[in-house]
């Protein structure tokens, strides 16, 4: 939201926490309401708050010519800014079953998946295997290389957005494999979380992004 007090760094807007496009419990039983509430209200909010704090400090450091502090702030900006970017996509990547969650992709994206991976099932198996293999915290992505017009599966560590793996990469779907995304419900069984999340995957959103990048 654009308010006067939200303006800090050179008049640019600070971030604010976006609303979820569904209720917290709308993705059950795949993802519990308790996880969704904490993930959105605590984790995502912390990225927003800490990014804004870093921008304030950057504003001060830039205006006093404090290059050492400008450099020092880069990791906080990358981590918290990336957390906001990734979670903003993640909420849109999910949808309640009654709103099309889990419905397989159609049209050009479906054809591109078959062409690149053989089948939707093969893509899901590949993403689940790569997501399960992420050491520590990170993300597994389905993206499109907008120059080559090709689908790619890749992983990123911590809160690095997909674009850190290549400037032409645009995320279609990202799955958060941080423990905070599943632990309350699935404990240490990340593969079970990965298996069930496809029941609420929003392929309509992925198709919209794909159609925009590969018209």
Contact residues: Mn ion, CB under 5 A: 176, 178
Judged by DSSP in three states, 127 sits in helix
| CB closer to Mn ion, 9 vs 183 | 183
Q: Which alpha helices (H) appear in 64-174, and where do they start and end?
A: 67-72, 74-93, 107-117, 120-133
Closest contact distance (angstroms) between CB of 5 and Mn ion is: 27
| CB closer to Mn ion, 117 vs 178 | 178
Which pairs with CB-CB distance under 8 Å and at least 24 residues apart come from 58-66? 58/9, 59/8, 59/9, 59/10
Closest contact distance (angstroms) between CB of 11 and Mn ion is: 30
Closest contact distance (angstroms) between CB of 25 and Mn ion is: 18
Going by C-alpha positions, the residue among 29, 41, 142, 38 that lies closest to residue 96 is: 29
| CB closer to Mn ion, 58 vs 89 | 89
Q: Which residue is nearest to Mn ion (CB)?
A: 176
Closest contact distance (angstroms) between CB of 186 and Mn ion is: 14
C-beta separation of 189 from 87 below 8 A = no
| CB closer to Mn ion, 160 vs 176 | 176
Cα(73)–Cα(55) distance, rounded to whole angstroms? 8
Closest contact distance (angstroms) between CB of 7 and Mn ion is: 27
Judged by DSSP in three states, 174 sits in strand
| CB closer to Mn ion, 178 vs 205 | 178
């Amino acid at each position: 939201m654009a308010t006067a007090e939200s303006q800090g760094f050179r008049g640019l807007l600070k971030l604010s926490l976006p609303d979820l496009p569904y209720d917290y419990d709308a993705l059950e039983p795949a993802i519990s309401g308790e996880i969704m509430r904490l993930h959105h209200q605590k984790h995502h909010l912390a990225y927003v708050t800490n990014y804004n704090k870093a921008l304030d400090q950057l504003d001060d450091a830039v205006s006093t010519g404090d290059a050492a502090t400008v450099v020092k702030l880069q990791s906080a900006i990358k981590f918290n800014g990336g957390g906001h970017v990734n979670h903003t996509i993640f909420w849109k990547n999910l949808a309640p079953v009654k709103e099309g969650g889990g419905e397989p992709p159609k049209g050009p994206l479906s054809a591109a998946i078959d062409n690149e991976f053989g089948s939707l099932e093969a893509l899901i198996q590949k993403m689940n295997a790569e997501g399960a293999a992420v050491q520590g915290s990170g993300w597994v992505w389905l993206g499109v290389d907008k120059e080559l017009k090709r689908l790619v599966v890749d992983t990123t560590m911590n809160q690095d957005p997909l674009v850190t793996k290549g400037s032409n990469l645009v995320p279609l779907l990202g799955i958060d494999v941080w423990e905070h995304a599943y632990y309350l419900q699935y404990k240490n069984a990340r593969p079970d979380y990965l298996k069930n999340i496809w029941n609420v995957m929003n392929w309509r959103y992925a198709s919209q992004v794909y159609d925009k990048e590969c018209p």
